[in-house]
Amino acid sequence: MKIIVPVKRVIDANVRVRVKSDQTGVETANVKMAINPFCEIAVEQAVRCKEAGQAKEIVVVTVGPSLCQDILRTALAMGADRAILIETEPALQPLAIAKLLKALAEKEAPQMIIMGKQAIDDDNNQTGQMLSALLGWPQATFASRMELGADRVTVTREIDGGLETLSLQLPAVITVDLRLNEPRYVKLPNIMQAKKKPLAIMKPVDLGVTLPAGVKVLKVVEPPKRSAGVKVADVAELVQKLKHEAKVI
């Protein structure tokens, strides 16, 4: 079984995001970047499938500039076998990324695609669903548990009312949630070995994909700061303020 794991390069989750002075976006110069946490969980799950003898090859792929090679090397150090960078310069929208991944999936012919449910930068939560629709494959989103069989995968997913268990015919697209696993710590020897693993670079034209026009960002601003709270003496005063000042009751 071959598993493809799409990953994304984002600002490290522990870094405070700052808006550029010209309001054209967020500041990324001299900012620590990392693999998206949900994508890291997806890589870990794929590696566990391989360690259990359920998968033979793990291919990690990302879409973006050449700088994204660092997160591919991180995924290779975690246990992926090879990596693919689809090199693009502009920031792409989920539909464009889904079309690139569809073309790659048709070329690589995997039995499963495991990916993070969303990226922590744009929070779109769309690419996996769009990819499933484009491929015509079954999908399971927000996976918190996964059991892989010979030709089916059983996924427990988190929904508003609790948990839902699905049985999918392979090939399938699965997007993972935080509670699926805890990614392993990458050791230095594995990082050194990852430098010798193959990393292919291709362009959208190599996949026969013409990128659609994306969304144009006009301005990025920080959210307004919340005003300080007000202390009230008793419930009666609270009710009066909610009724006459806040006008919520």
- Predicted TM-score (pTM) of the model is 0.86
Report d(CA 23, CA 217) in Å as an integer.
10
Query: Which residues does 49 contact at the CB level (< 8 Å), separation at least 6?
Result: 1, 3, 55, 148
Domains within the chain, CATH numbers bracketed: 2-244 (3.40.50.620)
Residue 166, CB-side half-sphere exposure with 13 Å CA sphere: 17
Q: What is the pLDDT along the chain (249 residues), one digit of tens a residue?
A: 999 999 999 999 888 888 988 988 888 888 899 999 999 999 999 999 999 999 999 999 999 999 999 999 999 999 999 999 999 987 788 999 999 999 999 999 999 999 999 999 888 999 999 999 999 999 999 999 999 988 999 999 988 888 999 999 999 999 999 999 999 999 999 999 999 999 999 999 999 998 877 788 889 988 888 888 888 999 999 999 899 888 888
**Residue whose tokens read 């990392």:** 34
Beta-sheet strand order (sheet of 139-148): 162-169, 152-159, 139-148, 172-176, 112-116, 2-6, 57-64, 82-87, 199-202
- At what angle are helices 69-78 and 37-51 packed, to 10 degrees? 30
Cα-based angle 165, 8, 5 (whole degrees, multiple of 5): 50
What is the pLDDT, as a whole number, of residue 161?
85
Query: Which residues does 68 contact at the CB level (< 8 Å), separation at least 6?
Result: 9, 62, 85
| Burial (CB count <10 Å: 0-12, 13-18, 19+), residue 197 | middle
For every residue of 42-110, DSSP letters joined together read HHHHHHHHHHTTS-SEEEEEEEE-GGGHHHHHHHHHHT-SEEEEEE--SPPPHHHHHHHHHHHHHHH--
The length of the chain is: 249
In contact, 56 and 140? CB cutoff 8 Å: no
Query: Which residues does 154 contact at the CB level (< 8 Å), separation at least 6?
Result: 146, 147, 165, 166, 167, 168
